[in-house]
Structure 1
């Protein structure tokens, strides 16, 4: 994952692979025709980890890690997830606002030097339905993240047999690695 090339991307696709016992995701660029383009990263959620952890690699051989996020605490309803690059350097963090998320999922994404982005589900009705009717967890949803009153990025879950997300970045200062980590985290951690 070339960081400079990645920073030029304004849109990504994140698609969950169907696997037993483990969450895996492909992060792809958007091709010129709007279809899924080159593989940018492959993510896998660590199995049976004491603390939630997801590592992103250059591809599905899982030979070269490029990014990861891990919960600071083992059992915390509003856990903070630190996002680090392959060398362990901090990229940023994200956390769920537990009380605000009781009816409508709400997340905070922080990047040093850029500030705090607040993200919420756009459709309150879908948010409430997903909470109280367990069989509707497959419903598409749309998260909008803002810094102040300015759009930062959005994550849109599409209809389909597998979870597929379109990620659109509106703020040029945001580190795309942090945005990708949050997008993967929305699927991997949303029901926790």
Structure 2
């Protein structure tokens, strides 16, 4: 049984994308708001998550990184409002030939590998991106499901259950998973569209 379920919904497009992060309402739908994310589409790939809708209380910041194991990846690091490192994640290019593969690392939890469950869906999504320069169409038309595991055991999953709905469901199987870097990962995956 899953420990908990969360939801991320994109609420705006354009050069500034907004997201609402929610707890589950008990019926599989978004309930109480837990945070709000803001992603600027610019050369510096940075993302902020706030505790309030007015975006006055910053919880975490995500920045591109080229340190350590992230150097070989398109990697990101997640910091709290005091600058403390909470976790990191990135795409594994060599393992992403058939299905996009992410790696997620959290202090005390270890390194997890997240792979798309369906090769067929992964190929369909990639085919669409060939004809879609901004990634929005591909992101809207194709569902996806990433399973993050450690030693073959599921730790959490991120999936897009519906077509034409920018809604993402996070299912967590271990309480040890820090929700803040997990939320940052889910938003980053959506913002990249092709990842």
Q: Which residue of 2 aligns with 1:65?
A: 58
Q: Which residue of 2 aligns with 1:5?
A: none
Alignment of 1:25-174 (within 5 A): 25-48=19-42, 50-73=43-66, 78-134=73-129, 137=138, 138-174=141-177
What CA distance in whole angstroms lies between the structure 2 residues aligned with 1:51 and 1:92?
19
Relative to the length of structure 1, the TM-score reads 0.87
Q: Which residue of 2 aligns with 1:6?
A: none
Deviation at 1:46, TM superposition (A): 2.5
Greater than 3 Å deviation, 4+ residue runs: none
What CA distance in whole angstroms lies between the structure 2 residues aligned with 1:11 and 1:63?
26
Unaligned runs of 5+ in 1: 1-8
Question: Is 2:126–2:194's contact at 8 Å kept on the other side of the alignment?
Answer: no
What CA distance in whole angstroms lies between the structure 2 residues aligned with 1:72 and 1:66?
19
Question: Is 1:17–1:162's contact at 8 Å kept on the other side of the alignment?
Answer: no
Q: Which residue of 2 aligns with 1:4?
A: none
Question: Is 1:13–1:27's contact at 8 Å kept on the other side of the alignment?
Answer: yes
Question: Is 2:7–2:29's contact at 8 Å kept on the other side of the alignment?
Answer: no
Relative to the length of structure 2, the TM-score reads 0.85
Aligned pairs, number = 181
What CA distance in whole angstroms lies between the structure 2 residues aligned with 1:98 and 1:162?
27
